[in-house]
Chain A
């Protein structure tokens, strides 16, 4: 499964955002692949570029800023950065399902839930009118919505937050996408409901084998659902690898700091939570060298001049890669070429 061809691949992606007052380099040369059936978590703090990187190529960034993209984003044999907006919108509907933090950004408040799903299924999965209705009811049921026949005829405002989140997942699945992109899907939800939604995502993944790209800042969520993790810092990849590698054997100083700042609820006794001093850079000016240098405890003179290359330290189908030569040298970790 893991050595299958990627179904969504991004290469050397650079995204500049021009707003009225500032220019921001939101994504600064990021590459990653998504293969069928895996869950990739993109982890980073606000401003790390995780959302821009994932939604930018799909043309889903908010209006009011000018977006410049360089590099490549390929899916289903098309180059997303160069195809027309109509083809992109078609691909977005058919190939990608997107779920947001706020369900109301995806659902039409004026239409009943069921017909919205059915329309999506007709348009992108090519179902007949009757089949689409059946599909919509079964999607609602699959998404863990009790009494789906009744909910079919409900308006979004008649449902609770957790139910809406499920309805949005159902909507994203209606077109039978290959890749499900989930932007902070559980951040606004309560703990017990969050557990339900994560379980739902796990279950869909098992049954349909679709790939999931999960954008989140919640390390606990990553640990419970992700196969692979990409850690972003200031628009660049700091570290990537399997969830096991990255979360239990973190190497990059930023990843280590990030993990140390999250209290582990399950571990019995641990050292007190540490904090990363300082703030992330503003990304308005392009500074040479490592973006994390200002806050890093291992910083050396060269860090502010050389851009740290992403080096592989354990070769496998999901290699563990780290963008910090300093820590590799200090700890004698071998680099695979």
Chain B
């Protein structure tokens, strides 16, 4: 178990039946992904690219249509079926909306106590001690314990929800846009909390995000998704420095800098149009309808992931280990 990757996703497809019957929504459409133990892995892409579905499928909140998810080498579907509780002690999930992910009737104390009660952790004294430890871990004062989630600030709520996820001492934490509901200055606090927790507890963290600046700041590895598939993946810094896939280039170019001197002289890539519907992806490369450098083969043949100069992989006909298209 120790040498198995923390998370391994093989040939994963998640399709949602469409009510009107017009073709299933292919939220995740054939993904292979390996997350090593101790990695801080970012998954980025635009809404509708399937990044949230991927994260939810990893923790079993969503059933896969095809393919498998292995957690520490163990098949997740079977694990969940046979022993839901021991699975939840291994993998935890942090939701995008901290307020919605907590019962509005439970105080912070009850919220933090709940996982411990479900897992029959110790006596009430021991639980109280564990809750105090958790507060310490996420730097919250004891005074929040009696309060209801809605009377907390956004940052405090997210701290509570992280503390709750850590209550069972999981080794893997999957987070779905944990920062997008927070204010800028508070985001920095939570980002720093994630990095310090990872170092302190040796966690493996998978984070779904759309704030690329933060991904660059904290993630060791990154996966870029487009329309249900991986368009590019690799080690964060080199990938962000010289992205091989035209989509990654456009996505990175869209991030504005807080420095107007850089903004004034910067060339931006403005893509035309919106992403196509995930229920009817275009033939060939999924990005070909918006790609400024698409050639004929892109409209016919779907590119496989291949090695590219930054050391990672990209799904682009125009890229290989020696070159990458530049738009």
Interface residues of A (CB under 8 A from B): 45-46, 146, 160-163, 190-196, 198-199, 217-224, 226, 243-244, 247-248, 257-267, 272-277, 279
Determine if B188 and A261 form an interchain contact, defined as CB atoms under 8 angstroms apart.
yes
* The 3 A-B residue pairs with the shortest CB-CB distance in the complex, in nearest-first order: A220-B256, A261-B188, A190-B46
Known: A45-B183, A191-B255. 13 other contacts (CB 8 A): A45-B185, A46-B154, A163-B274, A192-B250, A193-B46, A195-B268, A258-B185, A260-B188, A263-B214, A264-B213, A265-B257, A273-B192, A279-B156
**Contact: B183 with A219, CB < 8 Å?**
no
A222's closest neighbor in chain B, by CB?
Answer: B258
Asked whether any CB of chain A lies closer than 8 Å to the CB of B184, the reply is yes
Shortest beta-carbon distance from A143 to chain B in Å: 14
Contacts of B268 in A (CB 8 A): 195, 199
Q: Is the Cβ of A190 less than 8 Å from the Cβ of B210?
A: yes
A176 to chain B, nearest CB (A): 26
Tell me whether B153 is interfacial, beta carbon within 8 Å: yes
Residues of B contacting A160 in the complex (Cβ-Cβ under 8 angstroms): 274
> Most A CB atoms within 10 A — which of B153, B188, B255, B266?
B188
B216 CB-CB contact with A under 8 Å? yes
Is A191 in contact with B210, judged by CB distance below 8 angstroms?
yes
Given A193-B274, A243-B260, A263-B216, A220 and B192 contact (CB-CB distance below 8 Å): no
Q: A191-B251, A258-B185 are in contact. Are A266 and B259 (CB under 8 A)?
A: yes
Whether A248 and B259, one on each chain, are in contact in the complex, defined by CB atoms closer than 8 angstroms, is yes
CB of A261 within 8 A of CB of B260, answer: no
CB closest chain-B residue, reference A265 = B213
Interface 0/1 of B58-89, CB less than 8 Å to A: 00000000000000000000000000000000
A residues within 8 A CB of B262?
Answer: 223, 266-267
The answer to whether B187 touches A261, judged by C-beta atoms less than 8 angstroms apart, is yes
Contact B263 A279 (CB under 8 A): no
CB distance A263 to B184 under 8 Å?
A: no
Q: Is the CB of B185 within 8 A of A261?
A: yes
Chain A residues within 8 Å of B192, by CB:
272-273, 275
Report whether B188 and A274 are in contact in the complex, using a CB–CB cutoff of 8 Å. yes
Report B266 CB to chain A, min CB distance, Å. 7
* Among B188, B210, B259, contact of A267 (Cβ-Cβ < 8 Å): B259
**Chain A contacts of B252 at CB under 8 A?**
265
CA distance A247 to B256 in the complex (A): 13
CB-based nearest B residue for A254? B185
- Tell me the bound Cα distance from A196 to B188 in angstroms: 27
Output the least CB separation between B34 and chain A (Å).
Answer: 26
Report how far A246 CA is from B46 CA in the complex, Å: 31
Contacts A196-B271, A279-B153: A223 and B260 contacting too (C-beta < 8 A)? yes
| Residues on B with beta carbons closer than 8 Å to the beta carbon of A221 | 256
CB–CB A247/B258 < 8 A: yes
B185, B250, B257 pick with most chain A CB within 10 angstroms? B185
Contacting residues of chain B (185-228) with chain A, CB-CB under 8 angstroms? 185-189, 191-192, 210, 212-214, 216-217
Q: Is the CB of B254 within 8 A of A192?
A: yes
Contact: A247 with B260, CB < 8 Å?
Answer: yes
Q: Which of B266-300 contact A (CB under 8 A)?
A: 266, 268-271, 273-274
A265 to B266, CA, bound (A): 13
What is the bound-complex CA distance between A243 and B156, given in angstroms?
31
Taken residue by residue from 236 to 263, chain B's Cβ proximity to chain A (1 for < 8 Å, 0 otherwise) reads as 0000000000000011111111111111
Give Cα A161–Cα B251 distance, bound, in whole angstroms: 18
Known: A192-B46, A193-B274, A195-B268. A262 touches B258 (CB 8 A): yes
| 14 sampled A-B residue pairs with Cβ under 8 A | A191-B210, A191-B254, A192-B254, A193-B46, A195-B271, A220-B255, A223-B258, A223-B262, A226-B260, A243-B260, A258-B184, A261-B185, A266-B255, A279-B156
Bound Cα distance A143, B186 (Å): 34
Contact pick for B254, options A194, A222, A248, CB 8 Å: A194
A244 to B259, CA, bound (A): 8
Interface centre among A247, A264, A266, by most chain B C-beta atoms within 10 angstroms, is: A266
Q: Which one, B47, B216, B261, contacts A190 given CB within 8 A?
A: B47
Question: Do residues B217 and A263 form an inter-chain contact, with CB atoms below 8 A?
Answer: yes
Q: Is B155 an interface residue (CB 8 A)?
A: yes
* Distance of A222 Cα from B257 Cα, bound (Å): 9
- Known A217-B184, A219-B258, A275-B192; contact A265-B210, beta-carbon cutoff 8 A: no
- Complex CA gap A258/B184 in Å reads 7
Which residues does chain B contribute within 8 Å of A272, judged by CB atoms?
A: 192, 217
Whether the Cβ atoms of A266 and B257 lie closer than 8 Å is: yes
Give a binary string over B16-53; 1 marks a CB under 8 Å from any A CB, 0 the rest. 00000000000000000000000000000011000000
Are B258 and A259 in contact (CB-based, < 8 A)? yes
**In the complex, how many angstroms separate the beta carbon of B195 from the nearest chain A beta carbon?**
8
Q: Which residue of B lies closest to A188 (CB)?
A: B47
| Whole-angstrom distance between the Cβ of B44 and the nearest chain A Cβ | 9
Q: Which residue of B lies closest to A243 (CB)?
A: B260
Q: In the complex, what residue of chain B is closest to A43 when comparing beta carbons? A: B184
Residues of B within 8 A of A161 (CB): 47
The answer to whether A264 touches B188, judged by C-beta atoms less than 8 angstroms apart, is: no
A-chain residues with CB within 8 Å of residue B187 when the two chains form the complex: 261
Tell me which of A146, A223, A266, A275 contacts B189 (CB under 8 A): A275
Please indicate the chain A residues that have their CB under 8 angstroms from the CB of B259 in the complex.
Answer: 223, 247-248, 264, 266-267
Cβ contact of B263, chosen from A224, A261, A262, A277, cutoff 8 A: A224
| Distance between Cα atoms of A276 and B189 in the complex (Å) | 8
Name B212's closest neighbour in chain A (CB-CB). Answer: A265
Please determine whether A275 and B185 come into contact, CB atoms closer than 8 angstroms.
yes
Given contacts A223-B258, A224-B256, A267-B259, contact A273 B217 (CB under 8 A): yes
Inter-subunit contact B256/A223 (CB<8 Å): yes
Closest-CB distance, A261 to chain B (whole angstroms): 4
Residues in A neighbouring B257, C-beta threshold 8 A: 220, 223-224, 264-267
Q: A70 CA to B287 CA in the complex, in Å? A: 54
Q: Give the distance to chain B from A106, nearest Cβ to Cβ, in Å.
A: 20
Check A192 against B251 for contact (C-beta < 8 Å): yes
